[in-house]
């Protein structure tokens, strides 16, 4: 007889232990053990949270190199069904070898489940017939558990689920996350309800009254409230606010934005054409919103415009707005506002741009380009790539909570009774139009920050912290991904012949980008470097990019006039027709304001079980090379944190959203 020493590590999270019976079978290349009942001297409660009891599994002779284990859970008569969350199982063979089987998932029901040994294997490297068989079985089950659904034609497809609890256990929120999420959701609004604000359909009486809805403060939200009217700070936000994705260098004015030299005063004394030639002029064009159906809120038709905004980089390196046209079609009823107009004409024009920016940011930059795409990457991964594959091990920590947060966004934000549908100028039908247009014009280039910055001509803009931190972060992620994938793919043919990875990208192309070749999204991979770049983009989108466009939502939108969720009056058609009273009638009413602001608070709140970028509490990789690469990755992220912290010390407004210490591994909020 020979003995295999089996150590069972149960996860350290609420409800992870089980009182059910657990059985294990070891499967090796030369045979298998009998099913062993894992029962310690402590009785049926052996498999408890954080514990690692040890068992012996005896076999008449060696079963050879271990390929997989089978776990099987049964409830005792009269005992309840009780799910179990094993972290990993470690087996010492009689030959003295140690095999680690990473699990990190909930085991429910009584079906036999197979788990592979920790060494990552692509389908080509998985030569044993049992290994190949278990891969097929796993993918077949995953295909049943993770099905595509169409939320609305023209949008990326999503996970099919009736409610959060119908999602597979392994992708659901933890107990901690669920509790906190709903606590924050209810407390934010309750506070405002107590003040009697959430039901008031009245307009704000004066700007000071808006402070009543501004009952939570961050150092940046306070700064915004003080400086939101200043041109330099208005311009700054196009670089380092929550929507850094729109601004681009302007070499020629769009034909529908007829500004002539002399219409705008430039502090550098040069003419507009000279400054354009020098690369000092920038454009934000909200054409995505043109003609989009405006929402009706509290019985009142709202206003949503598609402005054009021109900005100038001044000799002292500020970015200042110099011209605003509030609608796309030029004409007498569509004046071009400039800073020398009356105080309220200019401020009103900027508020309309802020309103357009709210919708553009939330729908395109945030929802579509991070949340919905991250869901596509995750569902495709879970359907097509088995746990033993290096790509699964690399990316699965970067999918944490994404499916459930998106389900909740569909349920509470954009459903018929969702906050965005009820209270945003672009809610309802307008939202679908914007999302469809945005997807049909989305490019692969724009998802890869080095290409995106170059394509928008923003390489040399000063004080562009989003770019500076984002490029550094991209490079660190790229190096890590390259290290891991190059270890498993020794040549391009290995990528080309990996059917699982080809199915992954093919599913993404079809279900995420609706088979639009013009997006430039790869349809298959033919080289290791192509795969590395795409996986870098996936990891960057779910971590740094989402943080950049998500974490500052309350900072920049807590003071409502800086990011109004909706606007009530149409844009002025003549100069000289605005004053404080028309501005107050333009801003959203009281209830709309508080709904918007409390949602931004919820969406910016960090959860206590946040996992920081590069931290892998679940050890899916057990080999030396990837483990070392993870350590190097963590070290490089720490250095970037130190660089960013040091830079921020000298800044009036610190930029922290892409500090790796503040970035979560996945789209989880």
For Fe ion, the closer of residues 364 and 550 by Cβ is 550
CA-based radius of gyration for the chain: 28
CB of 149 to Fe ion, least distance (A): 20
Report the residue number, 28 or 156, with the smaller CB distance to Fe ion: 156
| Relative orientation angle of helices 528-540 and 465-488, to the nearest 10 degrees | 130
Is 101 in contact with 90 (CB distance < 8 Å)?
Answer: yes
Determine the Cα–Cα distance for residues 472 and 474; give it in Å rounded to an integer.
5
Beta-sheet strands, E only, within 251-400: 281-285, 296-297, 300-301, 308-313, 319-325, 336-337
In whole angstroms, the minimum distance from the beta carbon of 546 to Fe ion comes to 6
CB of 21 to Fe ion, least distance (A): 41
Q: How far is the CB of 539 from Fe ion (least distance, A)?
A: 16
Nearest of 569, 545, 549, 568 to residue 557 by alpha carbon: 549
- Report in angstroms how near the CB of residue 490 gets to Fe ion at its nearest: 38
Q: Burial of 644 by CB count in 10 Å (0-12 exposed, 13-18 middle, 19+ buried)?
A: buried
Residue 23 or 412: which CB sits closer to Fe ion?
A: 412
By C-beta, is 346 or 601 nearer to Fe ion?
A: 601
Least distance to Fe ion from the beta carbon of 626, Å? 29
Asked whether the CA dihedral 342, 345, 346, 348 is positive or negative, the reply is positive
> Which residue number, 259 or 405, has a Cβ lying nearer to Fe ion?
405
Q: From CA 543, how far away is CA 549, in angstroms rounded?
A: 10
* 369/533 with CB nearer Fe ion: 369
Kindly state the smallest distance separating residue 78's Cβ from Fe ion, in Å.
45
Residue placing its CB nearer to Fe ion in the complex, 415 or 577: 415
Measure the CA–CA gap between 203 and 391, rounded to whole angstroms: 53
CB nearer to Fe ion: pick between 117 and 664? 664
Size of the site for Fe ion (CB under 5 A): 1
What are the distances in angstroms from CA 200 to CA 309, 416, 567, 589, 648? 33, 21, 16, 8, 40
For residue 625, give both structure tokens: 């090379």
Integer CA distances (angstroms), 468 to 238, 458, 472, 618, 629, in order: 14, 11, 6, 31, 24
Q: Are 353 and 309 in contact (CB under 8 A)?
A: yes
Residues linked to residue 113 through DSSP beta bridges, in sequence order:
71
Closest separation in Å from C-beta 160 to Fe ion: 22
- In angstroms, what is the minimal distance from the CB of 391 to Fe ion? 24
Smallest separation (angstroms) from Fe ion to the CB of 604: 9
Specify the DSSP element, H or E, that contains 66. strand 66-74
Contacts of 177 (CB under 8 A, 6+ apart): 401, 607, 609, 668
Question: 20 vs 550, which CB is nearer to Fe ion?
Answer: 550
Task: Return the residue nearest Fe ion (CB atom).
Answer: 550
**Residue nearer to Fe ion on the CB measure, 36 or 369:** 369
Query: Helices 175-194 and 590-604, interaxial angle, to 10°?
Result: 150
Q: From the CB of 361, what's the least distance to Fe ion, in Å?
A: 11
Residue ranges with strand state E in 543-617: none
Structure tokens at 239: 């670089």
Q: Closer to Fe ion at the Cβ: 424 or 550?
A: 550
Site string for Fe ion, 419-438 (x = CB under 5 A): --------------------
Residues 523 to 562: which contact Fe ion by CB under 5 A?
550
Query: Contacts with Fe ion in 356-415 (CB under 5 A)?
Result: none
Given the rule CB under 5 A, which residues bind Fe ion? 550
């Amino acid at each position: 007889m020979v003995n295999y020493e089996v150590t069972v590590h149960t996860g350290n999270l609420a409800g992870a232990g089980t009182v059910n019976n657990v059985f294990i079978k070891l499967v090796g290349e030369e045979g298998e053990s009998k099913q062993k009942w894992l029962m310690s001297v402590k009785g049926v409660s052996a498999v408890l949270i954080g514990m690692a009891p040890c068992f012996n599994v005896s076999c008449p002779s060696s079963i050879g190199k271990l390929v997989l284990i089978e776990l099987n859970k049964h409830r005792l008569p009269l005992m309840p069904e009780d799910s179990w969350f094993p972290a990993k199982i470690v087996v010492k063979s009689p030959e003295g070898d140690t095999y680690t089987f990473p699990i990190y998932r909930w085991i429910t029901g009584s079906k036999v489940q197979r788990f592979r040994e920790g060494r990552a294997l692509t389908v080509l490297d998985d030569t044993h017939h049992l290994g190949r068989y278990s891969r097929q079985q796993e993918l077949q089950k995953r295909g049943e558990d993770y099905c595509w659904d169409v939320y609305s034609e023209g949008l990326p497809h999503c996970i099919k689920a009736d409610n959060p609890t119908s999602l597979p256990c392994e992708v659901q929120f933890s107990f901690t996350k669920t509790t906190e999420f709903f606590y924050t959701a209810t407390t934010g609004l309750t506070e405002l309800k107590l003040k009697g604000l959430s039901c008031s359909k009245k307009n704000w009486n004066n700007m000071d009254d808006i402070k009543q809805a501004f009952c939570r403060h961050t150092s940046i939200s306070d700064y915004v409230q003080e400086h939101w009217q200043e041109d330099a700070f208005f311009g700054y936000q196009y670089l380092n606010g929550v929507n850094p994705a729109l601004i681009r260098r302007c070499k020629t004015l769009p034909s529908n934005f007829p500004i002539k030299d002399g219409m705008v005063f430039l502090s550098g004394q040069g003419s507009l054409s000279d400054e354009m030639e020098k690369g000092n002029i920038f454009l934000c064009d909200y054409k995505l919103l043109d003609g989009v159906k405006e929402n009706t809120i509290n019985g009142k038709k709202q206003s949503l415009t598609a402005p054009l905004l021109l900005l100038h980089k001044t000799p002292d390196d500020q970015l200042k707005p110099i011209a605003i046209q509030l609608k796309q079609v030029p004409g007498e009823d569509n004046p071009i506002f400039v800073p020398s107009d009356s105080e309220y004409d200019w401020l009103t024009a900027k508020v309309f741009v802020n309103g357009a920016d709210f919708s553009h940011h939330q729908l395109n930059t945030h929802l579509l380009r991070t949340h919905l795409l991250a869901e596509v990457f995750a569902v495709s991964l879970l359907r097509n790539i088995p746990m033993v594959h290096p790509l699964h091990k690399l990316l699965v920590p970067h999918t944490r909570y994404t499916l459930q947060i998106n389900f909740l966004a569909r349920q509470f934000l954009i459903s018929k009774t969702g906050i965005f549908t009820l209270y945003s100028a672009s809610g309802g039908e307008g939202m679908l139009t914007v999302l469809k247009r945005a997807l049909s014009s989305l490019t692969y280039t724009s998802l890869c920050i080095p290409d995106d910055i170059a394509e928008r001509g923003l390489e040399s803009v000063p004080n562009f912290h989003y770019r500076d931190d984002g490029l550094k972060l991209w490079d660190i992620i790229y190096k890590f991904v390259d290290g891991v994938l190059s270890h498993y793919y020794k040549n391009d043919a290995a990528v080309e012949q990996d059917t699982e990875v080809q199915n992954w990208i093919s599913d993404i192309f079809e279900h995420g980008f609706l088979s639009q070749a013009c997006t430039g999204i790869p349809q298959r991979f033919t080289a290791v470097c192509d795969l590395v770049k795409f996986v870098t983009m996936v990891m960057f989108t779910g971590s740094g990019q989402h943080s950049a466009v998500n974490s500052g939502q309350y900072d920049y939108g807590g003071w409502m006039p800086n990011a109004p969720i909706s606007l009530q009056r149409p844009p002025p058609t003549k100069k000289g027709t605005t004053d404080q009273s028309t501005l107050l009638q333009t801003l959203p009413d009281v209830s709309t304001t508080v709904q918007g602001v409390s949602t931004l608070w919820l969406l910016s709140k960090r959860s206590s079980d946040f996992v920081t970028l590069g931290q892998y509490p679940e050890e899916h990789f057990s080999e030396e090379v990837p483990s070392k690469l993870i350590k190097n990755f963590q070290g490089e992220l720490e250095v970037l944190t130190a660089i960013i912290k040091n830079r921020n010390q000298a800044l009036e407004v610190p930029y922290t959203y892409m500090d790796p210490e503040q970035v979560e591994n996945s789209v989880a909020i």
